[in-house]
Amino acid sequence: MEAGGIEIGVYLLCVLLIASNAVLLSWLGKTRKWLVWSVGLVVAEVMLCWIIPTGSLMLVLLSAICGVILFTAVTEVGDMLPAHGRAVLITGCDSGFGHDLAKMLDRAGMRVYAGVLDESGPGAQELRKVSSSQLTVLQLDVTDTNQVSAAYQFIKSQIGDAGLWGLVNNAGVLGYTCDAELLPLRILQNTLEVNFIAGALVTKVFLPMIRPAKGRIVSVSSLAGAVPFPGFAAYGASKAAVISYFGALRLELSCWGVKVAIVQPGGFKTNILGNQEGWNNIQNEILSTQAPEVIKAYGEEYICTMQQRLSNMTANACSDFRPVLDDIKHALLSERPKHFYYPGHTAWAFPFLQKVCPSWLFDALFLHMLKYDTFLPAGVTLK
């Protein structure tokens, strides 16, 4: 009877822990962000109630761990700093993530400095039209040291000793997707310059204004920076450099109270893909500048399918930027921001598969999922 009473007590304790997790889950359901993971944890506990003997200590521990995870999620979502009056500089606001983020943070009450490549362009004009007087559009080509310096002097004159709370390094280019051997070197250099070197430059220039505010630096990398996508050698290399550089900077700046976060989005539809005219020009450049033996090895038909392959890969990309914007906002305003954010359905899945699968298996699965193995160079013979 005594043993049975202990088992019943343990069972009731497990039920109580599961019920408490369910209560937390109902609160978290409002945020949507943790909903899937929370449901999975509770379902796992319920299943284990049937599989594992009632008196198992492991079940008690699992229930407790689930409760801690959910409690952490609750406090993480809730502990946000006030946005009003905090100044933030965002690069690459002509379109895409930066454009929508500038509008979101302006509505939240932040003092937004929106850097654009073309201050007379449609993106800049729309920002001026729909935003409050707290948002300032700045001409800012991140690769132009003079424009970066001018932006620094202007913002410093505006905010004075208060310092700059946030810097979002968002500006970026895709360059061109093709096999690395075919990629013109100038495109590789430009992609590294815009996506990596320019972000390091802007950060270096503005750190004297961020340090006194004990502010935040958020850099947008990419899933391609964590996993080597075929055809994305230049873009992936530039984004991998972002992860490494700003990861080191996070450690170095921690003693100053400055927090650094890296956002690695999955597949989202942005204007980074460029336009038909630009792609046609680069395609013609490849065909006219490569050595004859290289053109023969790959074949003109293969080279001309590169843009179609990109279109196939991005056909199911998400057009809702909200997950990315929410993560950047959290990185800027949470009391305990994460070091890494992975918005998007595939942002965590591919890196996870790469870590747990043997290389040969991951490569085979990855190429098949991307349908990259349906296009082969002319000189490749199937075994």
Q: Which amino acids are annotated catalytic? A: 235
Task: List own/partner pairs for 291-297 with CB under 8 A and 24 or more apart.
Answer: 294/181, 294/182, 296/378, 296/379, 297/377, 297/378, 297/379
Measured on CA atoms in the order 310, 315, 321, 324, is the torsion positive or negative?
Answer: negative
The Cβ of residue 200 has, within 10 Å, a number of other Cβ atoms equal to 16
Tokens describing residue 262: 């890296």
DSSP class per residue in 110-135: -EEEEEES-TTSHHHHHHHHHS-TTE
User: Strand (E) positions, the chain?
Assistant: 87-90, 111-116, 135-139, 166-169, 216-220, 259-263, 340-341
Return the closest-CA partner of residue 147 out of 102, 195, 187, 91: 91
Distance of CA 45 to the CA centre of its chain: 31
Strands across the sheet containing 111-116: 135-139, 111-116, 87-90, 166-169, 216-220, 259-263, 340-341
Distance CA 117, CA 378 (A): 40
Strand 259-263 relative to strand 135-139: parallel, antiparallel, unpaired? unpaired
**How far is Cα of residue 227 from the mean position of the Cα atoms in its chain?**
13
Q: What is the DSSP letter of 291?
A: -
- Match 């007379």 to its residue by tokens: 120
Those residues with Cβ within 8 angstroms of residue 210's Cβ, 6 or more apart along the chain or in another chain = 163, 164, 165, 166, 167, 216, 217, 258
For the chain, the residue count is 383
Helix (H) or strand (E) holding 175: none
Reference 204, options 149, 247, 244; nearest CA is: 149
